Chain A
Amino acid sequence: MAPSIGTSVPRVDGPAKVCGSARYVDDLVLPGMLHGATVRSDVPRGRLLGVDLDPAFDWTGITVVTADDVPVNAVPLIESDQPVLARDEIRHAYEPVALLACEDRLRLAQALRHVTLRVEPLPPVLTIDDALAAREAIRGADNVIKRYRITKGRGGAAVEGCEVVVRGVYETGWQEHVYIEPNGMIGWWDGDTARVEGSLQCPYYVQKGIKGVFGLPDDGVDVTQAVTGGGFGGKEEYPTLVALHALLLAKKSGRPVKLVYGRQEDVEASTKRHPSRVEIASGCDRDGTLRAVSIRVLFDGGAYVTLTPVVLSRGALHACGAYRWEDVTVEAVAVATNTPPNGAFRGFGAPQTIWAIERHLDRVARTLGTDPVALKRKNLLRLGDTTATGQTLKESVGVEECVEKAMAASGYVEKRERGPVVTGRTARGVGAAIFLHGAGFTGSGEKYLKGKVAVDLLPGGRARVRTGSTDIGQGTETVFRQIAADGLGIGVENVDFAVPSTANVPDSGPTVASRTVMVVGSIVDAAAKELRARLEAEEKARGATRSAAWERLAADPARATSLVQYEPPPGVVWDDATYSGDAYPAYGWACDVAEVEVDLDTFETKVTGFWAAVDVGRVINPTLCAGQVEGGTLQAIGWALTEKLVTKDGKILNPRMTNYIVPTSLDAPPFTTTLVEAAYSRGPGGAKGVGELPMDGGAPAVAAAIEHATGLVLDRVPMLPEDLFEASVKGGAR
């Protein structure tokens, strides 16, 4: 059987999605089902005095749920500080306060307009600076959610003694996921068992939330993933809240309740990428050898803790970039504001700090009068080097090869030497970014997760993978089939993928952190190989053919299944107290080159070419892998050039696809993607994660290209034409 790993097996879920027969949560109808809706506050901060139902309105057939109906009013997460429904306090402008359900959607929409919230407004904290000033305390006395400190060598103080000291401040704004399918869940009760089905990334996270709020045991909650139209991290923690709301309405009404957000509600209320400010002071020798760096990372966490501590952690751990430094201090602080909680988003804190360090090294290069790539190359981490947390890189560092390939493919060096090309009123330039992304959970995460996967032998020579890792459009179903098929030595068409449901798949850990292929895939691999060994033993012991052995095992419930738990690699040591050690088992590496054309009158930036060379360890499915790189890069280009969330007094002014501007296919540049394979010994076939990595490099590469083309230096994302214009007024461009 020719191996399937390394071939572009077509996506198994593709035909149903393209033909429209795939059933998303909004397509599902349960008998007697009601529709749910959420009543939200409309001030960013205040005291909730009451929820009033208009007595003139006919409330028959409408179920109303308030905080009084919630058994344990806290969403279980890192700090469980977020109420399921607000009771006394309003902490952001889209805070859920009450829930309504009705069979008729039109009446539901009318009823929504007959609920009034009595709120005494309080002065809100809306920005990082507001929070740090702490004139209003919304969390503790200082509004700080979490702090980390990473130090290496003599620390950041060593910067001052260096030959060349460069300082800079780099900022990024919110980013909305704009997954194609907004959040949605159906919840119902089967006696005392809570059941939900919906759009989600992590069934076991949702289960944990429901258990906590309703006080249920594991087997009292069943969470099933419906076909999910994208997530990008936006369906990591948020769906728990939607599921809880649907179940509360279902409990009170005694009917199944479907709660599906419209686009506007989804943009307003659900999570977004953390806005950031990163302050860097670095020191290097006159020849460009980097020596010391002092970095302050500030993230806006929003109204509740949710996942902010972990996002901040990843941000801090990527703050030094793909480079060697002897002396380091990274001080990372996340603050609370009266804005909707920010959360998981592809890259998970790293895009913000990679943006900062890449822009900063561009600035250092400018100061030294050298090319940024030359400077970066000189200082790249190599095998045997140690990172800021003191991790020694022992294997799988393909960054040098990535840089070489990206340089060769793009002609970067010649284009930079030639200088910007100005034709009439357009200027063309190129820029690059070099970066890394830690694959899998941070530090000791995987040890606590204990991810599990089951592979079953089925009659008729078929096998089935059962995992809590979901396919949300990125191809999990397909690549897991490939890994299992190769492990078992069978054709990929003979492998099934069980619908993820907590009732019948083991907890593989969440579908996040670029861990699905690298970590969970390696468990699939181990389980499949274990079954293969069983088959071989059976064949030897009892004779006859492989298929006879297969049928015998498949018929024996005690032997048909292999359930394997993840074994974290030995020798990976992490100390949470000092924030030092092996931050990640492996890193993906990459080099991006962007070419842009800037209209010197309108300041529109068009990305006209993009070359990415990406070290993924091992390519499981070339088409899907390149698809991740190109899709992730386009998402990064959107963040860089057009995606700006406009807010006023804590409210979002552009919560629609017509005015929150994500790129279209016409905005996508031609991509040239090179996949590099510096194998990681513990990944399936050598694979590392690829999901998030491409989100990190697009913005700094585009910024560097704009700088090359126009001489305009932009240190804040997004870089709208208006920003280039403003910079040109201040700085005087071509």
Chain B
Amino acid sequence: MSVAGLALHPFSTPKTLDEALALLAERSARAEKTVLLAGGTDWFVERHVAPAEEAGVLPLVVDVSRLDALRGIAVEGETLHIGAAATYLEIRKDARVAARCPLLAATARDVGALQIQARGTLGGNLASGSPAADGVAALAALDATLLLRSIRGARRVPLAGFYTGYRRSVLAADELIEAIEIALPPEGSPFAWRKVGTRQAQAISKVAFAGLAVVASGRLARLGLGMASVAPTVALLPATRALGLSKPLGEVTDADVEQAVLADVSPIDDVRSTAAYRRHVAVRLAQRFFGELRAL
């Protein structure tokens, strides 16, 4: 769909979050379909690939990109709070993110290219639920918590509990993602961000790896890992995390990491890459991160 095609849809621009939530509640009660429009960088493409059915009623498009409640970036105590509709560009330019959460800044710099970064949001990245979502991989490594809100109230869901399957999540029909909360690691905590895409920019990940660690006397006090494009949802690599936390870093061998990662991932062959290559890269990127941690 082109931007011109947007005019075919009924369109609404609520002024406040409450107004948006009321609208969502009303429509979901009548089983009517609503699309929340943030940057539109996923939805337009999806629309183009699978055009609207001619007979069906077109969904109402609700622009949430300008809702104040979804916009800001804030640090409260040791929690980083990112509005679901904050753009990648805002994220990568934010001084607090750069200082306290450089992993997320690095990821934001690697999404699409500048044009996409100027519009795309973490809320959209999360809600689309693509297993190739770079932002979600970073949020997985950061063990982010999602603040979901509906007219019924707010709830906090850890990322690990958000997805229920390929492009499926616990997000209810009357609910939206308001914000993402991240427990900030100590300044200077080691991290890794490595995107293996199809080219240097405007690339969907073949594999993307995010890692974050807090090291205390040769052991990991905190370890977060996230990996895109190796499973039906962004992978949190539980076996690899457990391995890392289970013994002193010096005792974690490359062979251990390989075994754990292979237990954690289940990649497929598709137009972008092969399962064998993805397995290999997944293992190597995790081994590199452990190697860097050991070398600290």
Residues on A close to B: CB < 8 A? 106, 109-110, 113, 425, 601-604, 606, 642, 646, 653-654, 658-659, 661, 663-667, 721-722, 725-726
Contacts and interface: CB of A to CB of B under 8 A. Distances in A.
Contact of B113 (A110, A646, A654, A664): A664
Interface in B237-296: 271-274, 276-277, 280-281, 284-285, 288
Nearest to B277: A722
A658 B204 contact: yes
B69 interface: no
A642 B199 contact: yes
A726 B280 CA distance: 11
Contacts of A661: 198-199, 203
B284 A666 contact: no
B113 A425 contact: no
Contact of B54 (A110, A425, A659, A666): A110
13 contacts: A110-B54, A601-B285, A602-B207, A642-B199, A653-B271, A658-B45, A658-B202, A659-B198, A659-B271, A667-B201, A722-B277, A726-B276, A726-B277
Contact of B201 (A425, A642, A666): A666
B280 A663 contact: no
B182 interface: no
Contacts of B274: 722
B255 to A, nearest CB: 16
Contacts of B280: 725
Contacts of B216: none
Given A601-B288, A646-B271, A113 B281 contact: no
Contacts of A666: 113, 199-201
A602 B284 CA distance: 8
Given A604-B196, A661-B199, A663-B199, A109 B281 contact: no
B51 interface: yes
Contacts of B207: 602
Given A113-B54, A659-B271, A602 B281 contact: yes
Given A653-B271, A659-B272, A722-B273, A601 B199 contact: no
B200 A664 contact: yes
A-B residue pairs, 7 tightest by C-beta: A666-B200, A601-B284, A722-B277, A661-B198, A654-B271, A110-B54, A666-B201
Interface of B: 8, 45, 51, 54, 113, 196, 198-204, 206-207, 271-274, 276-277, 280-281, 284-285, 288
Name the residue among A606, A646, A661 with the largest chain B CB count within 10 angstroms: A661
Contacts of B284: 601-602
B196 A602 contact: yes
Nearest to B196: A602
A661 B281 CA distance: 20
B8 to A, nearest CB: 7
Name the residue among B113, B200, B288 with the largest chain A CB count within 10 angstroms: B200
Nearest to B203: A661
A181 to B, nearest CB: 15
Contacts of B285: 601-602
A110 B8 CA distance: 14
Contacts of B113: 664, 666
Nearest to B113: A664
A472 B31 CA distance: 52
A162 B288 CA distance: 50
Contacts of B276: 722, 725-726
B8 A664 contact: no
Contact of B281 (A601, A606, A667): A601
Given A659-B272, A663-B199, 15 more contacts: A106-B8, A109-B51, A113-B54, A602-B207, A602-B284, A606-B200, A642-B199, A658-B45, A664-B113, A664-B200, A664-B201, A666-B113, A666-B200, A721-B196, A725-B277
Nearest to B278: A722
Contacts of A721: 196, 206, 277
A109 B272 CA distance: 29
A664 B288 CA distance: 28
Nearest to B51: A109
Contacts of B281: 601-602
Name the residue among A646, A663, A667 with the largest chain B CB count within 10 angstroms: A667
A603 B281 CA distance: 9
Contacts of A725: 276-277, 280
Nearest to B274: A722
Given A601-B284, A659-B272, A664 B199 contact: yes
B88 to A, nearest CB: 16
A113 B56 CA distance: 15
A425 B287 CA distance: 12
A664 B277 contact: no
Contacts of A106: 8
A518 to B, nearest CB: 34
A106 B8 CA distance: 10
A211 B187 CA distance: 74
A642 B203 CA distance: 11
Nearest to A604: B196
A602 B51 CA distance: 36
B268 to A, nearest CB: 13
A698 B113 CA distance: 26
A603 B206 CA distance: 12
A642 B204 CA distance: 13
B169 to A, nearest CB: 23
B283 to A, nearest CB: 9
B50 to A, nearest CB: 13
B258 to A, nearest CB: 12
Contacts of B206: 721
Contacts of B203: 661
A667 B199 contact: yes
A109 B8 CA distance: 14
Contacts of A603: 277
Contacts of A602: 196, 207, 281, 284-285
B201 to A, nearest CB: 5
A722 B278 CA distance: 9
Nearest to A662: B199
B131 to A, nearest CB: 15
Contact of B202 (A109, A604, A606, A664): A664
Nearest to A721: B277
B195 to A, nearest CB: 10
A661 B197 CA distance: 10
A113 B52 CA distance: 12
Contacts of A110: 54
A586 to B, nearest CB: 36
Contacts of B198: 642, 659, 661
B75 to A, nearest CB: 32
Contacts of A659: 198, 204, 271-272
B272 A667 contact: no
Nearest to A659: B271
A425 B288 contact: yes
Contacts of A667: 199-201
A658 B113 CA distance: 13
B10 to A, nearest CB: 15
A316 B8 CA distance: 54
A650 B284 CA distance: 35
Nearest to A722: B277
Contacts of B202: 658, 664
A659 B204 CA distance: 8
A216 B274 CA distance: 53
Name the residue among B8, B207, B277, B288 with the largest chain A CB count within 10 angstroms: B277
A654 B270 CA distance: 10
Contacts of B8: 106
A602 B272 CA distance: 14
Nearest to A262: B48
A658 B48 CA distance: 13
Contacts of B288: 425, 601
A602 B206 CA distance: 10
A314 B198 CA distance: 32
Contacts of B51: 109
Nearest to B202: A664
Contacts of A722: 273-274, 276-277
